[in-house]
Amino acid sequence: MKKPQFAPTWPESWKLSYQYDLEEVFGEVANLGYAYAYARRMDETLRMIRKVAPPPATILDVAAGAGNFSLRLAELGYVVTWNDLRADLSDYVCLKHENGEIRYAPGNAFDLGFENLFDVVLITEIIEHVAHPDDFLEKIGRMVKPGGHVVMTTPNGGYLVNRLPKFSECPDPSQYEAVQFKPNSDGHIFLLHVDEIAVLAERAGLNLEQLRLGTNPLTNGHLKTAMLLKLAPRKLIEAIESVTQRLPASLSRRINNSMTVLFSKPK
């Protein structure tokens, strides 16, 4: 992946994406917690995809933004389709493209006519931004070939500092339609809980194959641990992360901030 040369004439969406890219992929880290959490999410997502669909499988990356997952998957030999509502970002992704096959399909993914088309559909940090996550997952499932998979990452609603509502306890999700699709954590509506995932999968006609929790308060710099991240060696941080991933389920759901989920579509 190439590092683009910043230009003051870029659109604002490019400039914002570039600032995130500096921490996410180009190593100019100001917020270690954010960088560690992003790296873990990337590693776990790639591990799940490679487990169920080796290259050159076809992958749709929905709401892919700056395209870092898309580009990495293309470099690994996958045939990737990048999608985002912000069509102008496709040219920014092109600036970073170095190797592999990537196609561009900007716009609302549900208006593009993708039906039973992809081996894997990837939805990273998206479902928490929509007012109807049940309908969203059902629509995503329609894009996957029979026997294919959906890989999803999303914050864990059971995390001890979460104060956002639980989707299954909301009597009228339509009240949030006017504020959905906003980027960044300010745009979070619901944070799904572990016990909701199987219910959503069943409604979408998908099988829940695997759910992994991770990213503890130290790893992501929460609860005033940011200073410890600056002092502790990376290997120690990773060791603590490994331990907290193996905690009993009841404790893991409280201490870990994120979840990575693998669904399959029946043949």
Q: Which two tokens stand for residue 115?
A: 């039906």
Residue 82 is given by DSSP the state: E
Say what the pTM is. Answer: 0.95
Query: Which residue is it, tokens 């400039």?
Result: 15
Query: Which residue is it, tokens 């992994």?
Result: 212
Query: Which residue is it, tokens 């990737």?
Result: 80
Q: Which two tokens stand for residue 142?
A: 């329609």
Lowest mean pLDDT among 142-146, 179-183, 250-254: 179-183
What is the pLDDT, as a whole number, of residue 184?
Answer: 81
Task: Kindly state the average pLDDT of the residues 71-90.
Answer: 97
What is the pLDDT, as a whole number, of residue 183?
Answer: 80
Note whether 81 and 100 are within 8 A (CB): no
Question: Amino acid identity of 15?
Answer: K
Query: Rounded distance, CA 90 to CA 92, Å?
Result: 5
∠ CA 129-130-136, nearest 5°, is: 130
Note whether 153 and 259 are within 8 A (CB): yes
Q: Which residues contact 194 (CB under 8 A, 6 or more apart)?
A: 156, 157, 158, 211, 213, 253, 259
What is the pLDDT, as a whole number, of residue 261?
Answer: 98
What is the pLDDT, as a whole number, of residue 114?
Answer: 94
Residue 192 is given by DSSP the state: -
Local confidence band at 46 (pLDDT 50, 70, 90 cut-offs): very high
Lowest mean pLDDT among 26-35, 133-142, 147-156: 26-35
Give the relative orientation of helices 32-52 and 68-75 as an angle to the nearest 10 degrees: 40
Query: Rounded distance, CA 71 to CA 99, Å?
Result: 8
**Does residue 133 carry a pLDDT above 90?**
yes
Comparison of pLDDT for 17 and 234, the residue scoring more: 17
Query: Rounded distance, CA 190 to CA 153, Å?
Result: 14
What is the pLDDT, as a whole number, of residue 106?
Answer: 97
Q: Report domain extents, the chain.
A: 12-213+248-264
What is the pLDDT, as a whole number, of residue 5?
Answer: 96
**Does residue 17 carry a pLDDT above 90?**
yes
Q: Which helix (H) or strand (E) holds 244?
A: helix 234-245
Note whether 263 and 141 are within 8 A (CB): yes
**CATH homologous superfamily of 12-213+248-264:** Vaccinia Virus protein VP39 (3.40.50.150)
**Does residue 226 carry a pLDDT above 90?**
no
Average pLDDT of the chain is 95
What is the pLDDT, as a whole number, of residue 78?
Answer: 98
pLDDT over 90 percentage in the chain? 87
Question: Amino acid identity of 9?
Answer: T
Q: For 19-35, write each residue's pLDDT tens digit.
A: 999 999 999 988 899 99
